[in-house]
Amino acid sequence: MSQKMSRKLVSDLKLLTKSLSTHCTSIQQSRSASSLAFKNAYINGQWVTAEDGRTFPVRNPANGDLISEVPDMQAKETQTAVNHAADAFKRWKNYTAIERSILLKKWHDIMAKNQEDLAQILTAENGKPLAEARGEIGYGISFVEWFAEEGKRIYGDVIPSAFKSKRLLHLKQPVGVCGIITPWNFPNAMILRKVGAALAAGCTVVVKPAEDTPLSALATCYFAEQVGIPAGVLNVVTCSHQHASEVGRVLCQSPKVSKISFTGSTATGKVLMKQSIDTMKRVSMELGGNAAFIVFNSADVDAAVAGAVASKYRGTGQTCISANRILVQEEVYDEFCEKLAKVVSQFVVGDGQEDGTTQGPLINEKAVDKVDSHVKDAVAKGGKVLIGGERHVKGPTFYSPTVIRDITEDMLVCSEETFGPLAPVIKFKTEEEAVLLANSTRFGLAGYFYSQDIRQIWRVAEDLEVGMVGINEGVISSTSIAFGGIKESGLGREGSKYGIDEYLNIKYACFGGM
Ligand code: SIN
């Protein structure tokens, strides 16, 4: 992420915090970041260990330092959490929407008050620069506030009846217990985007956070407990990589769980969907992407470079909506490549906790290996490295921010999601060719393009096979928009006025003898 963008995130956050201070008067508790390094999981309002006492380490990806050890839970504890969530659902669904909203607002407010500590723990376990972590906390908690409001507007319908003796209604009801399975790249926001909607709708949840980043999840429980969200409504089951599939399977196969919401890879999403079939669960899947970022001849090249930097290098390239393939039309190709490499050369790679860092580590060494294999493959097939192209001296989880030109379709970077700081730039001649290339993937999460030709803007916006499109914009995420993909990038939408529908069933009620 550029320093300019980091500065913007920080200033947005300051504004947000200021606007919150007006309704944060009753909640004053503040925790230091190190005391947010919890050691227990959270089930039925209790801080608990695994039954066999086993734990696994949570390490800082920047330096391998141990931050905490958390319970390595398995099927049994997951089933216990589901049972408690099912019990709590009987009560939580009968809270009025306003009662739930009041609690959610308090939850939002206390997290806002402790934003800095939440950001610190997030950076410690995920590695992203602090400015980005602060931005993520602001983004994550905004979903709790948003759905606290949306929950009050879950309207049904009164349907004009075709029969004189009948009155017809649609009621909207919470689906029940939800299994929430979340990734490490947004350890706070991906949980709150789902849990905010679920709780506002009247559902209860069992969250399985990513094995690498359970502490941000546990910190949200701590604050939920502080504001009185009842026991059993929010449960977090922590587990190591070794037990992740077992815990996921219990959530997917339990008849007591009515819905699975997952953010992560398409491969895992498919496994979870298959496991959910026998109990006919509702599913929301926010899966992998392979976003094309297209720059047409008419584009403002400087704006396109800024957009590409924001989209590609946010979270060190580890977001599902990161530009994965950068397609640039021939007239502006050289200029774009040169300017992009120049901006990237100014990045500061380092520990996210250090001042001035713009690019943190990747989540682990395997992630670095993947980026390196994409770089090596591209170079072997004729790609020219403009900047980076190698592991970074900072340590085994760091990779130098990279730009490669002369990319061709046969290279791995075109068919696989890199999930790292590599910008591959492809040259194209015509709009038709660019759209064909952009759509030549089974993924369809986000796409971006830069153009100043209004007819082209409409055509391309309609033709790109994606759930979300950025037009002359590289940063598209927001609380109020419907986030989600098509094709193998998933099902369902999160955030916006639609996000809460994922946690509601429509029941038709027919009143006879009227
Ligand atoms: C993701 O990468 O999965 C989410 C990114 C976002 O919400 O901006």
Letter for the amino acid at 129?
A: P
C-beta 319 within 6 A of ligand 1:
yes
Contact, 314 vs 323, CB < 8 A? no
Residue of 81, 375, 101, 357 whose CA lies nearest to 232: 81
Residue 442 main-chain phi, psi, to 5 deg: -80, -5
Q: Record the tokens describing residue 486, joined without a space.
A: 């098509």
C-beta 496 within 6 A of ligand 1:
no
SS3 letters across 275-310: HHCCCCCEEEEECCCCEEEEECCCCCHHHHHHHHHH
Q: Record the tokens describing residue 405, joined without a space.
A: 């030109």
**Ligand 1 centroid from CA 77, angstroms:** 29
Instruction: Please give the number of the atom of ligand 1 that sits closest to the Cα of 185.
Output: 2
Half-sphere exposure in the Cβ direction for 468 (13 Å, CA): 29
Compute the C-alpha angle 492/496/500, nearest 5°: 60
- Is residue 9 scored above 60 in pLDDT? no
Tokens 């490490």 — which residue? 184
**pLDDT computed for residue 39 by the predictor:** 95
- Is residue 452 scored above 50 in pLDDT? yes
Residue 178 main-chain phi, psi, to 5 deg: -115, 135
237 CB-near residues (< 8 Å, 6+ apart): 41, 43, 73, 77, 78, 81, 206, 207, 208, 247
Segment 370-424, tens digit of pLDDT: 999 999 999 999 999 999 999 999 999 999 999 999 999 999 999 999 999 999 9
**Ligand 1 centroid from CA 318, angstroms:** 9
**pLDDT computed for residue 98 by the predictor:** 98
Compute the C-alpha angle 89/91/93, nearest 5°: 65
**Ligand 1 centroid from CA 320, angstroms:** 6
Residue 55 main-chain phi, psi, to 5 deg: -130, 170
**pLDDT computed for residue 17 by the predictor:** 33
What distance in Å separates the CA atoms of residue 230 and residue 223, rounded to the nearest whole number? 12
- Is residue 6 scored above 60 in pLDDT? no
**Average pLDDT, stretch 362-370?**
98
Tokens 């990045």 — which residue? 347
Confidence of residue 5 (pLDDT cuts 50, 70, 90): very low
C-beta 402 within 6 A of ligand 1:
no
152 CB-near residues (< 8 Å, 6+ apart): 97, 98, 101
Which residue numbers are catalytic? 286, 320
**Average pLDDT, stretch 255-272?**
98
Contact, 70 vs 48, CB < 8 A? no
Letter for the amino acid at 358?
A: T
**pLDDT computed for residue 486 by the predictor:** 98
Question: Which among 143, 185, 285 is the best mutation to test ligand 1's pocket, defined by most ligand atoms within 8 Å of the CB?
Answer: 185
Segment 205-246, tens digit of pLDDT: 999 999 999 999 999 999 999 999 999 999 999 999 999 999
What distance in Å separates the CA atoms of residue 204 and residue 42, rounded to the nearest whole number? 14
Strands 446-450, 402-407: pairing is unpaired
Return the residue whose CA atom lies nearest to atom 6 of ligand 1. Answer: 477
What distance in Å separates the CA atoms of residue 61 and residue 271, rounded to the nearest whole number? 27
**Ligand 1 centroid from CA 321, angstroms:** 6
Return the residue whose CA atom lies nearest to atom 8 of ligand 1. Answer: 477
Residue 182 per-residue DSSP state? -
Domains of the chain in start order, with CATH, are 15-287+489-509 (3.40.605.10), 291-478 (3.40.309.10)
C-beta 263 within 6 A of ligand 1:
yes
- Is residue 3 scored above 90 in pLDDT? no
Please tell me the least confidently modeled range out of 16-25, 268-277, 405-414, 446-455. 16-25
**Alpha helix ranges (H) inside 213-285:** 214-226, 241-253, 266-276
Instruction: Please give the number of the atom of ligand 1 that sits closest to the Cα of 477.
Output: 8
Segment 99-132, tens digit of pLDDT: 999 999 999 999 999 999 999 999 999 999 999 9
**Ligand 1 centroid from CA 493, angstroms:** 12
- Is residue 14 scored above 60 in pLDDT? no
How far from chain centre, in Å, is Cα 65? 25
- Is residue 28 scored above 50 in pLDDT? no
**pLDDT computed for residue 34 by the predictor:** 63
- Is residue 190 scored above 90 in pLDDT? yes
**pLDDT computed for residue 32 by the predictor:** 59
Residue 484's alpha-carbon distances to 159, 271, 413, 474, 493, in angstroms, are 30, 19, 22, 16, 5
**Average pLDDT, stretch 327-342?**
98
**Average pLDDT, stretch 39-57?**
98
What distance in Å separates the CA atoms of residue 244 and residue 73, rounded to the nearest whole number? 9
What distance in Å separates the CA atoms of residue 121 and residue 275, rounded to the nearest whole number? 33
Confidence of residue 36 (pLDDT cuts 50, 70, 90): confident
Return the residue whose CA atom lies nearest to atom 7 of ligand 1. Answer: 477
Mean pLDDT for the chain?
94
**pLDDT computed for residue 33 by the predictor:** 59
**Ligand 1 centroid from CA 478, angstroms:** 10
If residue 260 lies in a helix (H) or strand (E), which one and from where to where? strand 257-263
Return the residue whose CA atom lies nearest to atom 3 of ligand 1. Answer: 320
| CB neighbour class for 479 (10 Å; exposed up to 12, middle 13-18, buried from 19) | buried
C-beta 477 within 6 A of ligand 1:
yes
C-beta 74 within 6 A of ligand 1:
no
Strands 167-174, 446-450: pairing is unpaired
Residue of 257, 365, 245, 358 whose CA lies nearest to 309: 358
Coil, strand or helix: which one is 420? coil
Question: Which among 213, 285, 320, 481 is the best mutation to test ligand 1's pocket, defined by most ligand atoms within 8 Å of the CB?
Answer: 320
C-beta 320 within 6 A of ligand 1:
yes
**pLDDT computed for residue 35 by the predictor:** 73
C-beta 204 within 6 A of ligand 1:
no
Segment 268-314, tens digit of pLDDT: 999 999 999 999 999 999 999 999 999 999 999 999 999 999 999 99
**pLDDT computed for residue 369 by the predictor:** 98
Question: Which among 477, 479, 494 is the best mutation to test ligand 1's pocket, defined by most ligand atoms within 8 Å of the CB?
Answer: 477
**pLDDT computed for residue 21 by the predictor:** 32
